[in-house]
Amino acid sequence: MGATTVTSRAFELTRLIALTVLLSPEEFGVMGIALLTMASFKMLTELGIKDALIYNKEEDVDEYLDTAWLMNTGRGIAIFGVVFLLAPYISAFFSEPRATPVIRAIGLMPLLFGLQNPAIVYFEKDLNFHQHFLHKVSGSLVGAVAAIGFAMLYGTVWALVVGYLSARTTELVVSYLLTTRRPGISFDLDKAAELFGYGKWLTGLSFLTFLGTQGDDAFLGWFLGAGALGVYQVAYRISNAPATEVGLLVSKVVFPAYSKVQDDIAQIRSGFLSVLVVVSVITFPMTVGTIVVAPTFVFGIQGQQWADAVRPIQVLALWGLLRAMGSITGPMFKAIGQPDVLTKVAFVKTAIIAALIYPLTAEFGVVGTALAVLISSAVFSEPIKYYLAIKETNIAWRQLVERMFVPLVASLFMGMGVYIVRERIQLAAGVPKLALLILLGVSLYVAAVALLERRFDYGLQSLIRTVISSMA
C-alpha cells in the first residue's frame, strides 16, 4: 500500500507540476469548477457499499457483488444525466461559461467508476494490496502521460479532462483484468437494504465531508472567481499531498485490519498506538518541510503567476497534518460499528466552517478560506474524535503525547535548520535549491530522530524491524 501511495502520488505530482507550468491559474479554475461539481454529486450520493462489504464479518461476499455493481452503476448513470442537464446553470452560477462542456465531459467519471468490477473490494478486504497497487498505479500513470502530452500539444484545460478520464478508463479495464470474479445482472432487495443499512451513516458523513472539504471551493469560486479557485485548489493538492496519501494509506490498511478484530478492543488499542507512531514519524516532518520550502517551490518551480499560492500552501499544510492524524480515528469507529460518530462530528465541523468562511475570506482572501478550514479542525473535529477514541479504547492521554513527542521535536529542529539555510545562504534558484533543501531536511530529521531515540528509547528500531519483517 505504501508503494501504491508513493508511486501514484509521484505520477500525480509530476502531472500537477508540469501542468502548472503549461497552464494558467484560470485554466485550473475552470477545471476546478468541473471537479467541484463532480465531487458534490459523488459525495452527496455516496452509498458506503465498499465499506459495508469490508466491514462484513464474512470472508466471502460474492453474493453481494451483483447487487453492489448494479447500485454503483445506477448511481453513475444518474449522476451523469443530472450533471449533463445542470452544467449550463452551474457555469452561470460561477460566471464561467467555458466550464459547461468541461463539466459535461467530467460527468463521465462517476459512470466509469460505477462500472468497475466490484470484486476489487477483495483487494482491501483480504489485504491483497499488491493487486490494489496495479489497479491504482496503472490509472495514475496513464492519466499523467495523457494529460501532460495533451497540454504540450494544445495548452488548454482539456488536458486536465483527458488526464482524469484516461485514468478512470484505465482503472475500469484493469479492474476486470486483475480478478476472475465477475458481477452479474441480478438485484437482491434484502442485500441492498443490508448494504445501505450500514452505509447510510457514511452517506451522511459524505454529505458533510463535501460541505467541509468542497464547500470552501464552491464559496471561493463564487466569491472571488475562477482564478482564485485555481490557486486554492493547486495549493490544496500540493500542501495536502502528505496528509492525503498517508491518510489514505492508513485508512485502507487499518480499516479492514480493525474489522477483522472488531470485537477485541485490546488489539484495536494496540494497533491504534502503533499506527499513531507511524503517522507521526511520517507526517510531522513532511508538514514542517512543506511549510518551510513552500516559497522556494512556488517561485522556483511554478513561477511568479502562482505567487498567491504560498500562504495558502502553508496554512493548508497544517490542516493536512490534522487530517492525517484524524485518519487514525476514522477507521476505528467504522470498524467497531459506530460510523455515526464521524457523521455527528462532521456536522458540527461544517457549521464552524460556515460561520467563519465569509468574514475570513472577505478579510484575507484565499488565505482566509484556508484559515476557516484549519480552525474548524484544530478547535473541534480532531480533538473531539481523539477524545472519543481514547474513551472507547481506554488509552491515556500520556500515551498519545509520548508517541508524538520525538517526531514533533525532530521536525521542529529540522524546520529551523532548513529555514536558516534558505534565508542565510545564497543558493541557485529552482530545482537545485529545492532539492538541496529537501536533502538537508531529510538529513537533519533522521539525525535528530536517531539522537532522540537513543535518549528516550522511542521504539523506532523495533518498529522498523517489524515493518521490514512484514515486507519480507
Each residue's pLDDT, cut to its tens digit, for the chain (472 residues) gives: 666 666 766 777 777 777 777 767 777 777 778 777 777 776 666 667 777 777 776 777 888 888 888 988 998 898 889 889 999 998 888 888 888 998 899 888 888 988 998 888 887 777 667 787 788 788 888 888 888 888 888 877 788 788 889 988 999 999 999 888 888 888 888 888 877 776 566 666 666 666 666 678 778 888 888 778 888 878 887 787 666 667 667 767 777 777 777 778 888 888 888 888 888 888 899 999 999 998 888 887 767 778 888 999 999 999 888 888 888 888 888 877 787 788 788 888 888 988 999 999 999 999 999 999 899 888 888 899 888 888 888 888 888 888 888 899 999 999 999 999 988 877 666 778 888 899 999 999 999 988 888 777 666 667 666 666 665 5
How far are the Cα atoms of 158, 238, 248, 471 from residue 10, in angstroms, in the given order? 22, 12, 15, 21
State residue 232's pLDDT score: 86
Please identify which residue in the block is written with the cell numbers 468542497: 214
What pLDDT was estimated at residue 208?
A: 67
Residue-level length of the chain:
472
In this structure, are residues 68 and 188 in contact, taking their beta carbons and an 8 Å threshold?
no
- CB neighbours of 401 closer than 8 A, spacing ≥ 6? none
Give me the pLDDT at residue 179, please: 85
Burial of 378 (0-12, 13-18, 19+ CB in 10 A): middle
**CB burial readout 120-153, b (16+ within 10 A) else e:** bbbbbbeeebebbbebbbbbbbbbbbbbbebbee
Which residue in 133, 143, 137 sits closest to 168, CA to CA?
A: 143
Exposure on the CB side of residue 277, measured as CA atoms within 13 A: 19
Query: Crossing angle of helices 241-260/265-297, nearest 10°?
Result: 170
Closest CA to 246 of 297, 293, 287: 287
Give me the residue label for grid cell 539555510.
421
* Assigned C-alpha cell, 135: 489497479
Per-residue cell: 358? 465569509
Give the per-residue pLDDT at 258.
Answer: 79
Q: Are residues 438 and 289 in contact, defined by beta-carbon separation less than 8 angstroms?
A: yes
Kindly state the cell numbers that stand for 372: 476557516
Three-state SS across the chain?
A: CHHHHHHHHHHHHHHHHHHHHHCCHHHHHHHHHHHHHHHHHHHHCCCCHHHHHHHCCCCCCHHHHHHHHHHHHHHHHHHHHHHHHHHHHHHHHCCCCCHHHHHHHHCHHHHHHHCCCHHHHHHHHCCCHHHHHHHHHHHHHHHHHHHHHHHHHHCCCHHHHHHHHHHHHHHHHHHHHCCCCCCCCCCCHHHHHHHHHHHHHHHHHHHHHHHHHCHHHHHHHHHHCHHHHHHHHHHHHHHCHHHHHHHHHHHHHHHHHHHHCCCCHHHHHHHHHHHHHHHHHHHHHHHHHHHHHHHHHHHHHHCHHHHHHHHHHHHHHHHHHHHHHHCCHHHHHHHCCCHHHHHHHHHHHHHHHHHHHHHHHHHHCHHHHHHHHHHHHHHHHHHHHHHHHHHHHCCCHHHHHHHHHHHHHHHHHHHHHHHHHHHHCCCCCCHHHHHHHHHHHHHHHHHHHHHHHHHHCCCHHHHHHHHHHHHC
